[in-house]
Amino acid sequence: MRSLIDILELSTQEIDELVAVAEDIIANPVKYSEKCHGKKLATLFFEPSTRTRLSFEAAMYELGGNVLGFSEASSSSASKGESVADTARIVSGYADIIAMRHPKEGAPLVASMYADVPIINAGDGGHNHPTQTLTDLLTIHREKGRFDNLTIGLCGDLKFGRTVHSLIGAMSRYSNIKFVLISPNELKVPDYIRNDILIKKGMDFEETASLEDAMPKLDILYMTRIQRERFFNEAEYLRLKDSYILDTDKLRTAKKDMCILHPLPRVNEISTAVDDDPRAAYFRQARNGKYIRMALIMKLLEVK
Ligand code: NCD
């Protein structure tokens, strides 16, 4: 039995296989419509979500399975003081696989130590978000046709943005990748990403505060929201919240085939006028989330 807590637990070969399965699901959905017949997915969401939870649920339904769960901590026994370990152990008796989102870093890892079924980390605090990264990878593959020879700009809240942390980990394993880390000084990537991944692996990366300077070099621009809920004080959030706003004017210096990604939800960091630009891939990206989660559920349930 296997869980997915950190994206680096999957080898690049396994990621290639998941992407290939997701692409086959997109081409032949009917082939997969009964693959998880009789199986149950539990979605335990202790933090808000739209895409992640609903795409997990849609994924399980499209595989012919069923779904149970809760979408806020206040409606679960966590509000009575139950531990994550106990909740995981209990839900193991009701479901075949669990997707868990939690505000505390490491909570899904703890759950995986007590559960008898696979646990999927659906986002743990400001730490990791491996299934968003699988979604990002499927999107990069479909939009750019490759995982190597890419200059990737990551822009916004690189400190608290968990999707950025997992994506840097995953992309660091491909060849000729360059990262341009675009953030205010206060929201740079945490040391464990800089030291344990970027420096340790000898990655080519630069840090800048200027989106304008970075723009012409980029093959991919990954925008992120300033993570209000993870700030220690509101005044600091208000000071930084409008640091980057991508609009059509700023895109004038971008490559013609640059791909614009965003895990969503967007607040104001991408103007809605950009949505009509063919380079804006974030709504396609959100759709891809369902297909890659179908592939992942099948893999962890060992469905052939
Ligand atoms: C992201 C998350 O939850 O980390 N959303 C998502 O899962 N697509 C990004 C965010 O909340 O900013």
| Domain assignments of the chain as residue spans, ordered by start | 7-128+289-300, 131-286
Comparing 117 with 75, which gets the higher pLDDT? Answer: 117
Nearest CA to ligand 1 atom 7: 52
Nearest Cα to Cα of residue 59 among 254, 300, 297, 274: 297
Nearest Cα to Cα of residue 91 among 107, 77, 105: 77
With cut-offs at 50, 70 and 90, classify the pLDDT of residue 303. very high
Nearest CA to ligand 1 atom 12: 225
Nearest CA to ligand 1 atom 8: 263
pLDDT digits over 136-168, tens only?
999 999 999 999 999 999 999 999 999 999 999
31 CA distance to ligand 1 centroid (A)?
A: 30
Nearest CA to ligand 1 atom 1: 263
**Kind of pairing, strands 66-70 and 119-124?**
unpaired
Asked if residue 162 has its Cβ within 6 Å of ligand 1, the reply is: yes
User: CA angle, 125 as apex, 208 and 180 as ends, to 5°?
Assistant: 15
Task: For helices 282-300 and 130-144, give the axis angle rounded to 10 degrees.
Answer: 120
Query: In a 3-state reduction of DSSP, which class is residue 198?
Result: helix
Comparing 73 with 258, which gets the higher pLDDT? Answer: 258
Ligand 1 atom at minimal distance to the Cα of residue 264: 8
Report, as an integer, the average pLDDT of 54-75.
96
304 CA distance to ligand 1 centroid (A)?
A: 30
Q: What is the pLDDT of residue 39?
A: 98
Report, as an integer, the average pLDDT of 107-120.
98
**Position 77 pLDDT exceeds 90:** no
How far apart are the C-alpha atoms of 196 and 123, rounded to whole Å?
20
**Position 1 pLDDT exceeds 90:** no
Ligand 1 atom at minimal distance to the Cα of residue 122: 7
**Catalytic positions:** 51-52, 80, 101, 129
Report the share of the chain in percent with pLDDT over 90: 96
70 CA distance to ligand 1 centroid (A)?
A: 18
Asked if residue 132 has its Cβ within 6 Å of ligand 1, the reply is: yes
pTM: 0.97
User: Is 7-128+289-300's fold the same as 131-286's?
Assistant: yes
DSSP state of 258: -
**Position 79 pLDDT exceeds 90:** no
For the chain, the average pLDDT equals 97
Asked if residue 123 has its Cβ within 6 Å of ligand 1, the reply is: yes
How far apart are the C-alpha atoms of 130 and 239, rounded to whole Å?
30
Query: In a 3-state reduction of DSSP, which class is residue 202?
Result: coil
With cut-offs at 50, 70 and 90, classify the pLDDT of residue 175. very high
Asked if residue 264 has its Cβ within 6 Å of ligand 1, the reply is: yes
Quick one: three-class SS letters along 44-72? EECCCCCHHHHHHHHHHHHCCCEEEEECC
Q: Which CATH architecture has domain 7-128+289-300?
A: 3-Layer(aba) Sandwich (3.40)
Q: What is the pLDDT of residue 56?
A: 98
Report, as an integer, the average pLDDT of 37-60.
97
Tell the CATH topology of 131-286: Rossmann fold (3.40.50)
User: CA angle, 221 as apex, 268 and 58 as ends, to 5°?
Assistant: 70
Report, as an integer, the average pLDDT of 79-91.
94
Ligand 1 atom at minimal distance to the Cα of residue 225: 12
Report the share of the chain in percent with pLDDT over 70: 100
